[in-house]
Amino acid sequence: MAAILGGLPASVLAFVYLVAGVLFIQGLRDMTHPRTAPRGNLISAGGMALAVGVTVLVTDILSPVLLFAGLLVGAAIGVWLAMTVETTEMPQLVGLFNGFGGGASALVAGAELIDMFGTGSFQLGVTATAALAGLIGSVTFWGSLVAAGKLHGVVDDSAVRYDGEQAVKALFLALAVLAGIHLVVRPNLLGAVPLSGWVPSYWVLVAAASILGVLLVIPIGGADMPVVIALLNSYSGLAAATTGFVLDNSVLIIAGTLVGASGLILTVIMCESMNRSLANVFFGGIGETSESDEEMEDIYEGNITTTSPEEVEMTLDVADRVVIVPGYGMAVAQAQHAVAELSELLEDAGVDVEFGIHPVAGRMPGHMNVLLAEADVPYEKLRDLEEINPTFSQTDVVIVIGANDVVNPSANEAGSGPLAGMPVLNVGEARTVIVNKRSLSPGFSGVPNPLFAQDNTNMLFGDGKETMQELVNIYKENH
């Protein structure tokens, strides 16, 4: 690195990058708790703004004006997305952001290769790390697009399986690896060809990795999307870190490594919460079967007890302790504000209210926490699975809103089904269970839920938001 970069001493640039790295670490630490997460986001964003700003000032590739113009366009798009995307659509937005990070890494690595090959200087370290960045970045980009499409409903969210799928994946992985080896070992093989600066072997690698990314995510069902999103987040970080080595940029290496490591840790936690291995998620599949409402009624043999908001209000009137268990159905119905209002009314009446949060409820890690925080539910009221499960036997009423697989007691039974061994919220141990759903349809796993037919369970059918708001109105009238 030259002593002076764009008029800025190299030592100053290194110091600014160090400060940015410290801000990344502090921001990541703050994001480990819901209360400090907003501050962590701001600190991390400040660190990135500092790193990007100083990089733009010292670059000699493009004029600062042009780079700042690009930053303004990107910032405008980011702000627009943040302001317009509904909270229920946040998982697919996170998936897209993961993909953009991976795609950017692959393109930047390719651009650096083109520049390097144009000068005729072949550096082994750069070509090797560029190959890794292209492989990981391309898999991340296209895999994230498929994941976002599944979450948004534009791609079938079932597990699409076919004969020989593992062999097909292995074929494209081998093709990408071979192209990467060719790039590293024989970078100037086509040196006499005018298009050699185009680096054909690199783009063969990118094409093969892109197809591999699609093939990796297509067979994964919607129930596993939280794990996939976390893993793709890790991939985007690894792609950024390898691109940092290509560009010899320390702050990109630091940021990418932090994202990659934290995403991998989160993926492991998510897998443990589902009692599944990462290999099982990618090669096992879940959510392959589904039953119609009529078939569900036959399965439950007419043992379903229905209730109404009026009856639920009377049940709540004599309760001392209530636990609310939200699921993805609450997110779809946008019922979190009505649920928060019901919680406040019950607390004003002297009822002890808590929320039982399953780690994989929703379609991305922390989905339920984000929704409830949006509705101003105090963080102190949110209890994870390990905290809340021992208390269900002392709970008068549990209200399950749009949750299914995460409260399915069949997961506790010995067997080999999609939910076998998955830790679930043992809501059936409460004195009374109220389940608010549109129908008896199963969750993403396609497994019927015996909870619905238990003697202490009452099914409150209807849209989550409308039903909860009706219950709130009735409770207000009687208190």
The active-site residue, picked from 30, 157, 224, 405, is 405
**Could you tell me if 353 and 347 are in contact, meaning their C-beta atoms sit under 8 angstroms apart?**
yes
Gap between the Cα atoms of 140 and 134, Å rounded? 10
Gap between the Cα atoms of 273 and 425, Å rounded? 11
* Strands 352-357 and 321-326, sheet pairing: parallel
**Could you tell me if 206 and 134 are in contact, meaning their C-beta atoms sit under 8 angstroms apart?**
yes
Gap between the Cα atoms of 134 and 103, Å rounded? 8
Residue 248 known to be catalytic: no
Would you please indicate which residues are annotated as catalytic (active-site) residues? 405
